[in-house]
Amino acid sequence: MGTLNSARIGVVTFPGTLDDRDAARAIRLAGGEPVALWHADADLRDVEAVVLPGGFSYGDYLRAGAISRFAPAMSSVIDAARGGMPVLGICNGFQVLTEAHLLPGSMIKNDHLHFVCREQTLVVANANTAWTNEFATGQRITIPLKNQDGQYVADEATLDRLEGEGRVAFRYDGWNPNGSRRDIAGITNERGNVVGLMPHPEHAVEPGFGPAGADGPRAGTDGLPFFRSVLASLVGA
Amino acid sequence: MGRVVVEVMPKPEILDPQGKAVVGALPRLGFTQFTGVRQGKRFELEVDGEVTPEILEQARKAAEEVLSNPIIEDIVAVTDASADAGTAPVAQRAGLA
C-alpha cells in the first residue's frame, strides 16, 4: 500500500507525446514517485496510478487518441482502470480514454477551428474523485489549456446521465474555449477513479512557471492538488 | 489485387467544423451554389487476391472497431472496389483529368 512518499505513479509515453516530462515532474513535486511507462510495453511496473499525458500521439492520425488506444500499455491500463486503479487523462490522454471507452463521449475539432492556448479558469464540479479530492466542489482554478481537438461532444442522453450522476468533473468558467457541450472541461467514470480533462494541470505546479495566480504572474499552482489528490486517495485506499 | 473502400462521415447531428469552414470558403472563390459541406473520410484497404465475403466482413469489423468512432461518426459504405483498382487515378478513369 502506498504512502505519500512512496506511491509509484506511471506516466505513459506514446510516439508524439509531449507532456510526459511535465507530468512526471508534477508527480514528484506533489510527493509521489514518477515511473516512466512505454506504449509498446504492457508491463505497468507495479505502479498504483497512471497518467496519460498530453501531446499529439501518432500525429492525431485517424482521430485524436485513436491509434494509441490499441497500444500494449493501454491494454494493461484499461484492465487496471476497470479494477479501480486511478487513471488521469490530460488533453490527448483524455482523448485516448474516450477512444478506449473508459469515459463516454468524444472530442472533435474546436468549433472556431483554431488551436487555442490560454490560461483557462475552470469550476470544480466534482471534488470526490481520486484526482480532485483536494479541491472543494465549486472552487475556481486556473490552469493552461492548449488544444486543437478539444470540443467535447456526446449525445443528449449521455450528457443528461453525466450531469445526473455528478460525473462532470470540471466546467469551463467565463468562456467556453472550444464549443464543448454544456461547458464540460472534464469528466469522471462512475467509480471516480478515471478522470479526463482537456486543460493541463501538470503545467501549473511550480511558482514561476505556471499561469497567473493570487501571488502574481506565473505564480499559479492550481494543478498541484490533482496529483496530491491521487496520493491522498492511494493512502486512504 | 483486391480493394475494399470504407467511407466514414461525421454523424448528421454532430457539427462538422471542417465542413463549415469549407462551405464558408467556397463563395469567396465564386462557388455560390453550395449551401452546405460535410467532410468525411475514405479508406482504401488493399488485399492480395480477391475480395471474398470473409474479407468484406473483416473490413466491416475494422470499420466498426478502428476506422470509425460510433459516437461521432457513421460508416456510410463498405464496398468491394476491386473493379476500380486499376493503375489510373480515379479522376482519370472517370474522364475528369
Phi, psi at A113, each rounded to 5°:
70, 0
C-alpha B46/C-alpha B44 separation (Å) is: 6
- Model confidence at B95: pLDDT above 70: no
Grid cell digits, residue B68: 470509425
Higher pLDDT, A139 or B89: A139
Catalytic residue numbers of A, as ranges: 91, 200, 202
Going by their DSSP bridges, the two strands A8-13 and A33-38 should be labelled as: parallel
Write the DSSP symbol of residue A60: G
> How many Å lie between the alpha carbon of B37 and the closest alpha carbon of chain A?
15
ipTM: 0.81
Q: CATH topology for A8-236?
A: Rossmann fold (3.40.50)
If DSSP codes are grouped into helix, strand and coil, which group holds residue A120? Answer: strand
CATH architecture of B2-93: 2-Layer Sandwich (3.30)
- Model confidence at A96: pLDDT above 60: yes
Domain residue spans of chain B: 2-93
CB-based contact A198:A94 (threshold 8 Å): yes
C-alpha A93/C-alpha A99 separation (Å) is: 10
What would the mean pLDDT of A39-63 be, rounded to a whole number? 96
Q: How far is CA B41 from CA B7, B22, B84, in A?
A: 6, 15, 18
C-alpha A168/C-alpha A142 separation (Å) is: 17
Domain residue spans of chain A: 8-236
C-alpha A28/C-alpha A31 separation (Å) is: 5
| Residue A235: how many other CB atoms lie within 10 Å | 12
- Model confidence at B88: pLDDT above 60: no
pLDDT in tens, B60-84: 999 999 999 999 999 999 999 998 7
Q: Which class for B31: exposed (0-12), middle (13-18), buried (19 or more C-beta within 10 A)?
A: exposed
Q: Which of B17, B67, B69 sits opposite A109 (nearest CB)?
A: B17
CB-based contact A125:A178 (threshold 8 Å): no
Write the DSSP symbol of residue A230: H
Mean of the per-residue pLDDT values of chain A:
95
C-alpha A204/C-alpha A224 separation (Å) is: 7
The residue of A58, A96, A103, A109 whose CB has the most chain B CBs within 10 angstroms, and thus the best one to mutate to test that interface, is A109
Would you state the pLDDT for residue A237? Answer: 67
The residues with which A13 forms a beta bridge, in sequence order, are: A38
Name every residue in A having a CB less than 8 A away from some CB of B. Answer: 62-63, 66, 70, 98-99, 104-106, 108-113, 151, 153-155, 179
pLDDT in tens, A176-208: 999 999 999 999 999 999 999 999 999 999 999
C-alpha B6/C-alpha A12 separation (Å) is: 32
